[in-house]
């Protein structure tokens, strides 16, 4: 929707401060407390591509940020501290979770497409050390599929058990096993296939939907999603069976063999916003980077992205964009929610943020290149007020009294440069987008 601008700052792919490169693929995103600051932060666990025409991956890294704009990095796990040979180049995808039983952090790592190990740390950023005396938790042959590319599913109110999901849809699809509470062993006899059926629900496994490997399972409301390589399926049960839904990456370029440029992906909700981290291809299939986007979910469960944020990244906003969409917020309170907008015929028209009553703040930090003397125009409906604040200071308030979307304006006066903007909504309000001109 928005055309690129020569002054536009891009935050995709993720570029950690001080790193000579950003070749970090296979992201798994988690929210943990930063032990050095006491603040919540997003942690992204990744591999590191060193090859150009082959996979050369020598260790595992972690990136972290409290604002999703400025990223730190460190090596999380060295291959020398695992059962892999000291000269291995097979440090493939990993996942990390905080144990609900002992509070420690467990990092599950792939030895190429062969087997899977586990390491442990007292900190989310490591360093991690092998937790099993340098033996795999998933040895080769434990199930018919390849025992690699782990995804950990933690207990919730419906199931007190943790599971490890692994495998490939081009060998024998995906399998899961229950983890013991020590998080370093699987429960014998619990291996089960996690099938994906076609969209019509025919109980025939859907295999080889454009070759891929890693899968991630996450829950949105009462629905479980399983994602792999830009594609996803849904189920009412965490271990399926899943029904194929769609291809979230169908508009994104593909490699010559048909695989999408977006591959390994990970999802989570933080501060009322859903995020999607994904490996994004470059000119070489073995040279990948991690990108971070907002995720939007339609009323029928369809997952959607938008091109502006895919290109630009999250957490900051160029004042010169044609629009800043309301659903690109970085934080909302419980009284505000994201909704799908529909035309009279029921077709999709975008997303908005809405509240029914009260006073709530919607946050848009790092808005940059604001021109002095500009005006904020808000496309909005409802009955109440909207107040604009910069860095906590009020800039002005506009009244809203319209059943259909209309435009209201707030003068920003001498405000210029970069500021953290907050829109304070009072009353019954739905905001579609705003501009700064």
- Residue 1's pLDDT is 43
Quickly list DSSP for 107-153. EEEEETTTEEEEEEESSTT---EESSSS--SB-TTSSSS---S-EEE
pLDDT in tens, 176-209: 999 999 999 999 999 999 989 988 888 887 765 5
Domains of the chain: 28-312 (2.115.10.20), 317-436 (2.60.120.260)
The percent of residues above 90 in pLDDT, for the chain, comes to 80
pLDDT in tens, 54-97: 889 999 999 999 999 999 999 999 999 999 999 999 999 999 99
121: left (phi over 0), alpha (psi -120 to 50) or beta: beta
The predicted model gives 368-379 an average pLDDT of: 96
- Residue 260's pLDDT is 61
The predicted model gives 283-296 an average pLDDT of: 86
Separation CA 326–CA 435 (nearest Å) = 10
Separation CA 214–CA 148 (nearest Å) = 8
The predicted model gives 222-234 an average pLDDT of: 92
Least confident of 40-54, 92-106, 400-414: 40-54
pLDDT in tens, 130-163: 999 999 999 999 999 889 999 999 999 999 999 9
Separation CA 321–CA 317 (nearest Å) = 8
402-437 per-residue burial string, b: 16 or more CB within 10 A, e: under 16: eeebeebebebeebeebbbbbbebbbebbbbbbbbe
Residue 253 pLDDT class (50, 70, 90 cuts): low
Residue 307 pLDDT class (50, 70, 90 cuts): confident
Q: What are phi and psi of 317, to 5 degrees?
A: -145, 130
């Amino acid at each position: 929707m928005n055309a690129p601008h020569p002054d536009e700052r891009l935050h995709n792919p993720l570029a950690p401060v001080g790193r000579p490169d950003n070749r970090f693929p296979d992201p798994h995103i988690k929210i943990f407390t930063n032990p050095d600051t006491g603040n919540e932060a997003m942690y992204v666990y990744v591999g590191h591509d060193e090859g150009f025409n082959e996979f050369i991956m020598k260790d595992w890294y972690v990136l972290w940020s409290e604002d999703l704009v400025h990223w730190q990095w460190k090596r999380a796990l060295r291959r020398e501290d695992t059962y892999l040979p000291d000269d291995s180049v097979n440090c493939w995808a990993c996942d990390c979770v905080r144990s609900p039983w002992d509070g420690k952090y467990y990092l599950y790592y792939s030895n190429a497409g062969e087997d899977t190990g586990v390491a442990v740390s007292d900190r989310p950023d490591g360093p991690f050390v092998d937790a099993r005396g340098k033996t795999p938790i998933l040895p080769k042959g434990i199930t018919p599929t390849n025992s690699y590319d782990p995804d950990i599913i933690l207990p919730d109110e419906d199931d007190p058990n943790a599971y490890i999901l692994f495998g490939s849809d081009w060998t024998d699809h995906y399998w899961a096993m229950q983890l013991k509470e020590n998080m370093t062993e699987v429960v014998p006899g619990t291996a089960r296939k996690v099938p994906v059926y076609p969209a019509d629900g025919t109980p025939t496994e859907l295999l080889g939907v454009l070759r891929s490997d890693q899968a991630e399972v996450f829950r949105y409301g009462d629905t479980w999603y399983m994602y792999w390589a830009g594609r996803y399926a849904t189920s009412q049960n965490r271990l399926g069976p899943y029904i194929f839904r769609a291809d979230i990456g169908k508009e994104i370029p593909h490699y010559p063999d048909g695989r999408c440029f977006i591959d390994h992906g990970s999802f989570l909700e933080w501060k009322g916003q859903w995020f999607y981290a994904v490996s994004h291809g470059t000119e070489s299939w073995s040279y990948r980077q991690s990108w971070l986007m907002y995720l939007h979910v339609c009323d029928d469960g369809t997952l959607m992205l938008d091109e502006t944020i895919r290109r630009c990244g999250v957490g900051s906003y160029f004042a010169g964009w044609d629009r800043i969409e309301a659903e690109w917020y970085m934080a909302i309170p419980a009284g505000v929610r994201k909704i799908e907008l529909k035309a009279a015929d029921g077709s999709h028209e975008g997303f908005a943020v809405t509240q029914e009553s009260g006073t709530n703040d919607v946050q848009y930090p790092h808005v940059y290149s604001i021109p002095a003397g500009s005006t904020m125009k808000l496309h909005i409906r409802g009955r109440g007020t909207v107040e604009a604040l910069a860095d906590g200071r009020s800039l002005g308030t506009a009244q809203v009294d319209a059943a259909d979307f209309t435009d209201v304006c707030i003068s920003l006066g001498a405000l210029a440069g970069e500021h953290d903007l907050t829109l304070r909504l009072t009353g019954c309000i739905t905001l579609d987008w705003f501009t700064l001109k």
